[in-house]
Structure 1
Amino acid sequence: MTILAIDTSNNPLGVALLDDNQVLGEFITNIKKNHSVRVMPAIQTLMQDCEKAPADLTKIVVAKGPGSYTGVRIGVTIAKTLAWTLNIPLVGISSLEILAAGAGRYFNGFVSPIVDARRGQVYTGLYRYQNGMLTTVEQDQLVMIDDWVAKLTDLNAPILFVGNDLSIHHAKIIEVLGPQAIIASQTEHNPRPSELALLGKDKPGEDIHSFVPNYIRLAEAEQKWLEGKGKILNG
């Protein structure tokens, strides 16, 4: 089984190849550049270096959001196209779950991945490893950071925070949670595409045609368009 994992859901771009339980290779960058022109060359280079052809692939696993509207759409579109063309299964994994999986594997407590959603809001969820398996404690959601950290004070356990946007909300997290909040090390803030591959390894394929990203909310432009359309229809 050779799995190709693709993550363009936020600033980091990541692709990986997993052969059974061995990570053959992965490529990660964390720079603000257009994923649409970089992801296919990254996939091609990785596959060439690992001496794999498209026909060798048996599954595509993609980060399905939440995150950047454009970034999520790019990754999902490429993943769907490859899976359909190669006639192989497609699996989508939460972008937040990927962060939690990498940072929290050896952490005895809860894990809260953080992706900034502007205006004091974050995409987040709550995860925990139990018996070696990553479990979801709180589903992925869009929430005000003030409300989120206030809610977490009820937990009687340390909470590991991870994500490249933590610097935006670090002060508020520490102010409310104090020593209960643990900040992941710098090397853990980038989502690992190899973790994405492992998370999707044993999951069944989804219907390619009905597969859609999990934006959690509409893109701002789309929301404004719908609001404007409603005003016109109601006016």
Structure 2
Amino acid sequence: MNILAIDTSNDVLGIGLVIESKVVGEYITNLKKNHSVRVMPAIQQLLADCEMKPDDLNKIVVAGGPGSYTGVRIGVTIAKTMAWTLGIPLSSVSSLAVLAAAGRYFPGLICPLFDARRGLIYSGLYRFDHQELVTVRQDCNIPAEEWALLLKEHEEPVLFVGNDISIHQETFKSTLGQAACFAAPGEYNPRPGELGLMGVSRPEENVHTFTPNYIRLVEAEAKWLERQGKIQND
């Protein structure tokens, strides 16, 4: 099976190509640039470098969120379009789960995170059990301080992974003490190859109805609903 993996859910742009169980190519950048103008050229270049054509692909796997609203939407839209055009299956994997894969050999809990501004984070809690990534707490959008208290209840070492660790590092250190462990910078970027491998066994999404997992409403939608509620309550 030839799988193309696409991750534009955050600043990291990741394109991966998996053939059977082998990662044959990855394109990764961590730049605050517009993914919408860079992702298709990246896909084309990676396929060309690996001497493969779009018609050779058997499946598309996309990081389906959470993360940047615009970034998640770009990746999902391109993945859906390619899957529909090529007539091949589409699968989705949590953007946080892909990041958590960096902690494969950590003997404890794994906490991937993305900053969501205003003291909030996108995060989830995972662990590896016999080389399989399992979910301990579902992905959520939560204040970092509240999340730290929930993590403390587990009374286990926790490995934090992600490019936004530094923003909330002191919060987790002060709450968890020595139980708080932090990945090395080389492990901060989610690997599109991992995304492709994780997507091999994921169920197929309906290409027409599949929507990203934003977890929370974008700010404009939230304000609109808030105004509507106030109007109805008046």
TM exceeds 0.5? yes
| Secondary structure in 2 matching 1:51 | coil
Residues 1:127 and 2:148 aligned together: no
- For residues 100-138 of structure 1, the C-alpha deviation after alignment (integer angstroms, 9 at most, x for no partner) is 01x211111100011111111111110000011000000
For 1:211, the aligned partner's letter is F
Q: Which moved more, 1:221-230 or 1:175-184?
A: 221-230
1:180 — aligned with what?
Answer: 179
Question: What SS does the aligned partner of 2:40 have?
Answer: helix
**How many residue pairs align between the two structures?**
234
Give the drift of 1:209: 1.1
**Residue 143 of structure 2 is aligned to residue 139 of structure 1:** no
Cα distance change of structure 1 residues 231 and 203 upon mapping to structure 2, 3 Å threshold: same
Q: In the alignment, does 2:168 pair up with 1:169? A: yes
- Give distance in 2, aligned partners of 1:213 and 1:204: 15
One-letter code of the match for 1:207? N
Q: Confirm or deny: 8 A CA contact 2:9 2:72 kept in the other structure.
A: yes
Q: Which residue of structure 2 lines up, in the alignment, with residue 83 of structure 1?
A: 83
Measured after TM superposition, the shift of residue 232 of structure 1 is 4.5
User: TM-score normalized by structure 2?
Assistant: 0.97
Q: Secondary structure at the match of 2:150?
A: helix
Displacement of 1:210: 1.2
Structure 1: distance between partners of 2:175 and 2:229: 40
Equivalence for 1:227: 226
Distance in 1 of aligned mates of 2:156 and 2:230: 47
- Aligned CA RMSD, in angstroms, stands at 1.1
Residue by residue over 1:200-230, the C-alpha shift from the partner in whole angstroms, topping out at 9 and shown as x without a partner, is: 0122211111100000001111212232344
SS at match of 1:67: coil
Unaligned runs of 5+ in 2: none
Three-state SS of the structure 2 residue aligned to 1:155 is coil
TM-score (norm 1): 0.97
Distance, in Å, in 2 between the alignment partners of 1:69 and 1:123 is: 12
Alignment of 1:46-125 (within 5 A): 46-101=46-101, 103-125=102-124
Are the equivalent residues in 1 in contact too, given 2:92–2:202 (CA < 8 A)?
Answer: no
Name the amino acid aligned to 2:222: Q
For 1:116 and 1:204, locate their aligned partners in 2 and report how far apart those are by CA, in whole Å: 29
**Which residue of structure 1 lines up, in the alignment, with residue 24 of structure 2?**
24
Percent identity over paired residues: 60
5+ residue gaps in structure 1?
none
Q: Distance in 2 between matches of 1:19 and 1:180?
A: 38
Q: Report the CA distance between 1:72 and its aligned residue.
A: 0.3
The amino acid that maps onto 1:118 is R
What do residues 51-91 of structure 1 show as CA deviations (whole Å, max 9, x unaligned)?
Answer: 10011000000000000000000000000000000010000
Equivalent residue, structure 2, for 1:34: 34
SS of 1:207's partner is coil
